[in-house]
Amino acid sequence: MNRKLLSKRNRPRLRVFRSRKHIYAQVIDNSTNTTLAASSSLSKQLKNFITSSKTCKAATIVGQDIGNKLKDQGITQVIFDRGNKIYHGRIRALAEATRITGINF
């Protein structure tokens, strides 16, 4: 079996969804079809830190939160899934904030 495909199967998937107003991040284990961690700009824990949910600052806060949740579970590598959105703006801010916490894509 291809070595690259084999390594991707062992890593969970960080799925990012961006709407006009909010951003959502969810880490999914594809082998068991379960959600390992989730965070969004609607989260009650993050409401005190987010002034406007449509900004890159909000995406950065969500990225840091999801990164810290993954580190608490001992996960250091994920596959980044941005759907059909381009790697720009809020998607990029979330990805860079997650990388800063020590998560590798």
- Provide the 3-class DSSP secondary structure of residue 78: coil
In this predicted model, what pLDDT tens digit does every residue of 21-78 receive, in sequence order?
999 999 999 999 999 999 999 999 998 999 999 999 999 999 999 999 999 999 999 9
Number of domains into which the chain is organized: 1
Position 105 in a domain: no
Residue 22 belongs to a domain with what CATH number?
3.30.420.100
In this predicted structure, the answer to whether residue 6 has a pLDDT above a threshold of 50 is: no
pLDDT of residue 8: 56
In this predicted structure, the answer to whether residue 4 has a pLDDT above a threshold of 60 is: no
In this predicted model, what pLDDT tens digit does every residue of 77-96 receive, in sequence order?
999 999 999 999 999 999 99
CA pair distance 5, 90, nearest whole angstrom: 29
- Integer-rounded Cα Rg, in Å, for the chain is 13
CA pair distance 101, 66, nearest whole angstrom: 9
Measure CA 12 to chain center: 11
Domain that holds residue 95: 3-100
pLDDT of residue 10: 77
Position 74 in a domain: yes
